[in-house]
Amino acid sequence: MQIKEEEHIMIHYFILLPLVKKVLEQDLHLFEEGAFKVKDPYIDIIREALHLLHEDMRYIKKYMYQNRMRVMFDENDGMFSRYSYVCRGYEGTSSYLNANLKRQARHCMDAYFSKNSPLHSDSILH
């Protein structure tokens, strides 16, 4: 039994979006605490991006619950991050090159800053 491509994409975004959230929250903190002359526009952009990101995360969690999917972090050896997943009773593992996750997180941030959802863009995962 194989998992569907859509399920595999949701698993990937389930892994990727919390990384994007962490970066955006750290950046928001830096702008809030930093000595910038005009920081409100930057803070507003990051908050809007976080709002869109939270909507996507909510959608993914609902999708995963409805399709009986779980993802567990296994390890990060500095070069790769490894995750295991269960989808409709099927178990599998995925390894992600950390540099690729970083690049994809950057593309997700670009999408959110443009007020778009990366879930609707094919270019993020490629």
Asked if pLDDT for residue 80 goes beyond 90, the answer is: yes
Asked if pLDDT for residue 124 goes beyond 80, the answer is: no
**Hey, how many other C-beta atoms are within 10 angstroms of the C-beta on 121?**
15
- Predicted TM-score of the model (pTM): 0.90
Number of H helices, E strands in the chain: 3, 3
CB 91 within 8 A of CB 104: no
The residues pairing with 72 across neighbouring beta strands, listed in sequence order, are 84
Asked if pLDDT for residue 126 goes beyond 60, the answer is: no
- The continuous run of DSSP H or E covering 13 comes out as helix 5-33
CB 74 within 8 A of CB 90: no
pLDDT tens per residue across span 5-62: 999 999 999 999 999 999 999 999 999 999 989 999 999 999 999 999 999 999 999 9
